[in-house]
Amino acid sequence: MATATHAIVCRATRVIVSRHTSLDFARAAWRARAYPGGNTSRPLKRWASLHHIAPIAQALARAPNEDVA
């Protein structure tokens, strides 16, 4: 299994939404969720402003610690 190099992260909670094996795959996944029906001439969904792509190491370092609770 390939290791993840990039992740889509929620800006508000810093939770990792999805992991991807390359920046290209992460961008494709982000675009698929950001544009309704894949139509890039339409405005972005609100989801797009709330999520961004980050390297997996950075995403893991900033993710909330689930062991605290």
In a domain, 40, yes or no: yes
53, part of any domain: yes
The reply to whether 17 falls in a domain is no
What is the residue range of 45's domain? Answer: 1-9+24-69
Q: What is the pLDDT along the chain (69 residues), one digit of tens a residue?
A: 589 999 999 999 999 999 999 999 999 999 999 998 878 888 889 999 999 999 999 999 998 876 544
**Cβ contact 14:63 at 8 Å:** yes
- Are 29 and 17 contacting, i.e. CB atoms less than 8 angstroms apart? no
Instruction: Find out whether 11 and 54 touch, Cβ atoms under 8 Å.
Output: no
Q: Per the structure block, which two tokens stand in for 1?
A: 């299994």
User: Whole-angstrom Cα distance, residue 56 to residue 58?
Assistant: 5
In our burial notation (b when 16+ CB lie closer than 10 A, e otherwise), range 20-40 reads beeeebbeebbeeebbeeeee
pTM for this prediction = 0.84
